[in-house]
Copies of this chain bind each other. A is one copy, B any other.
Amino acid sequence: MLLPTATFAARFLDEDAANNNFHIAGAQKQQEPPRRRKAMAKGLLTADAARSLVGSVDAFLFDCDGVIWKGDELIQGVPETLELLRKLGKKLVFVTNNSRKSRRQYSKKFKTLGLEVTEEEIFTSSFAAAMFLKLNNFSPEKKVYVVGEDGILDELKLAGFECFGGPEDGKKNIMLEANFYFDHDKSVGAVVVGLDQYFNYYKMQYASLCIRENPGCLFIATNRDPTGHMTSAQEWPGAGTMVAAVSCSVQKEPIVVGKPSSFLMDFLLKSFNLETSRMCMVGDRLDTDILFGQNTGCKTLLVLSGVTTLPELQDASNTIHPDLYTNSVHDLVKLLQQ
């Protein structure tokens, strides 16, 4: 893998010494006009549109939850779709905001579901958090406190960082009594917050103390998805809920490294020899997947197999419109074979 240079890394982070606020180019791009928009008919994926789409892109970026699977259940037609696209010579990349697993763990999950996907084809928000610290020369003498699960801890360790927190701190309780003083490690230089089913008051306070009291401590969010299909049966609170709680406590906004921030895309472009105008982002969520695709200049395809419903897409209040939409990725195969 081609690792970005220090110059590239420097683009992402400008320290404002006066107020300890950090800015990343990727995050700022969320508010900017898209790099490039294709003049493509916006609407339902038809056989013609499917042929045109496949003919005009070299790579497909797939979100996972709600697109490839729901919880641990594969969405119908996914194996055939991926197989066909690979046969057509398309590069496949899997970009997920779900930080619960590392790239290695995701590769195993794909295998369990009968799909052959390598670690190098997987970009998770947990990996993005580790890469963000690496690209910004995070001091190896500092530690990282994690509000999240094993995926974040694993990726941070793989990248050579000392980290703690995670599921272990989910077992710890706070007793708010009298003169109780809660101490924290002053050598924590970054707090990473992601989806955490072991979220508790202990972690909220630990993260808050590090961010508020350790000079220059970074506050990094893997992503801000409000909900997600953590199980196939229903939606669950997403990483956005943990991020909202910590952000409220410290009264500061985090640096977001997952979708729709373009940090991951810039990193991905440096890893592969690709052009965003010849990529299509396929996702089930408007405010992360489709916005991410648009922010980075990709074509966008919304699938209705996850959190977004057709009435939500077509509601007058919705301002995010994908180039194309369809029920599920399976439609791509069906339409191409017509």
Most buried by B among A200, A231, A232, A241: A241
Assembled-state Cα–Cα distance A238/B249 (Å):
7
Which residues of chain B are near A175, meaning CB under 8 Å?
A: 197
Assembled-state Cα–Cα distance A205/B176 (Å):
24
Assembled-state Cα–Cα distance A198/B200 (Å):
7
Number of copies: 2
Assembled-state Cα–Cα distance A234/B72 (Å):
43
Whether, in the assembled complex, A244 has its beta carbon less than 8 Å from a beta carbon of chain B, the answer is yes
Assembled-state Cα–Cα distance A39/B4 (Å):
61
Which residues of chain B are near A240, meaning CB under 8 Å?
A: 248-249
Whether, in the assembled complex, A9 has its beta carbon less than 8 Å from a beta carbon of chain B, the answer is no
Most buried by B among A177, A199, A231: A231
Minimum CB distance partner of A239 in chain B? B248
Let me know if B205 and A201 touch, CB within 8 A.
no
Interface SS of chain A: loop
Assembled-state Cα–Cα distance A71/B182 (Å):
14
Assembled-state Cα–Cα distance A217/B182 (Å):
37
How far does the Cβ of A205 sit from chain B's closest Cβ, in whole Å? 6
Which residues of chain B are near A200, meaning CB under 8 Å?
A: 199-200
Assembled-state Cα–Cα distance A247/B234 (Å):
18
How far does the Cβ of A193 sit from chain B's closest Cβ, in whole Å? 11
Whether, in the assembled complex, A8 has its beta carbon less than 8 Å from a beta carbon of chain B, the answer is no
Let me know if B197 and A174 touch, CB within 8 A.
yes
Let me know if A197 and B176 touch, CB within 8 A.
yes
Which residues of chain B are near A177, meaning CB under 8 Å?
A: 72, 231
Whether, in the assembled complex, A41 has its beta carbon less than 8 Å from a beta carbon of chain B, the answer is no
How far does the Cβ of A175 sit from chain B's closest Cβ, in whole Å? 8
Let me know if A241 and B197 touch, CB within 8 A.
no
Most buried by B among A182, A224, A245: A245
Minimum CB distance partner of A233 in chain B? B181
Let me know if A249 and B226 touch, CB within 8 A.
yes
Most buried by B among A233, A249, A251: A249
Contact of A251 among B226, B231, B236 (CB under 8 A): B226
Assembled-state Cα–Cα distance A196/B200 (Å):
10
Whether, in the assembled complex, A242 has its beta carbon less than 8 Å from a beta carbon of chain B, the answer is yes
Whether, in the assembled complex, A75 has its beta carbon less than 8 Å from a beta carbon of chain B, the answer is no
Which residues of chain B are near A209, meaning CB under 8 Å?
A: 234
Which residues of chain B are near A174, meaning CB under 8 Å?
A: 197
How far does the Cβ of A217 sit from chain B's closest Cβ, in whole Å? 16
Assembled-state Cα–Cα distance A240/B208 (Å):
14
5 contacts between A and B (CB under 8 A): A224-B248, A227-B249, A241-B246, A242-B245, A244-B248
